[in-house]
């Protein structure tokens, strides 16, 4: 009976360790995005915005795709580069480096595969 209880607990612990190992350290000073994206960052719902964009420490979420940051960001001269895995409906997963360039208008983002977004201001 002891072993039957130990196996699920061990699996849970190993799963938590694996999840923590894949999480990137915080590096941004908050969420960035358009109106719908900032609403999404606060509530988890973009409202009726079908073109929302959100950038935060975990990755990028848009109405079209998601990119998870898979390792810690590296500071660059004007922002960050961060390993990412991007998924969009009907497309192959793209892995590579996302580039986040900060200007007075917010962050402009270049994703693995070359797609660009922004710049997007900091959410209020």
pLDDT tens for each residue of 64-121 = 899 999 999 999 999 999 999 999 887 888 999 999 999 999 999 998 888 899 999 9
> How many structural domains is the chain composed of?
1
Question: What is the mean pLDDT of the segment spanning 28-43?
Answer: 96
Nearest Cα to Cα of residue 71 among 63, 79, 62, 80 = 80
Tokens 């500071």 -> residue: 75
Tokens 């915080």 -> residue: 26
pLDDT at residue 20 in the model: 41
pLDDT at residue 24 in the model: 67
Structure tokens at 67: 């990119």
Q: What residues make up the domain containing 53? A: 2-120
Confidence class for position 59, pLDDT limits 50, 70, 90: very high
């Amino acid at each position: 009976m002891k072993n039957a209880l130990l196996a699920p607990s061990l699996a849970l612990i190993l799963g938590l360790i694996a999840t923590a190992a894949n999480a990137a350290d915080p590096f941004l000073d908050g969420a960035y995005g358009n109106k719908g994206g900032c609403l999404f960052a606060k509530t988890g719902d973009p409202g009726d915005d079908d073109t929302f964009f959100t950038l935060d420490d975990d990755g990028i979420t848009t109405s079209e795709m998601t990119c998870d940051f898979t390792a810690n960001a590296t500071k660059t001269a004007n922002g960050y580069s961060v390993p990412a895995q991007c998924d969009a409906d009907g497309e192959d997963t793209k892995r590579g480096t996302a580039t986040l360039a900060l200007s007075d208008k917010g962050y402009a983002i270049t994703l693995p595969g070359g797609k660009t977004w922004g710049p997007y201001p900091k959410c209020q």
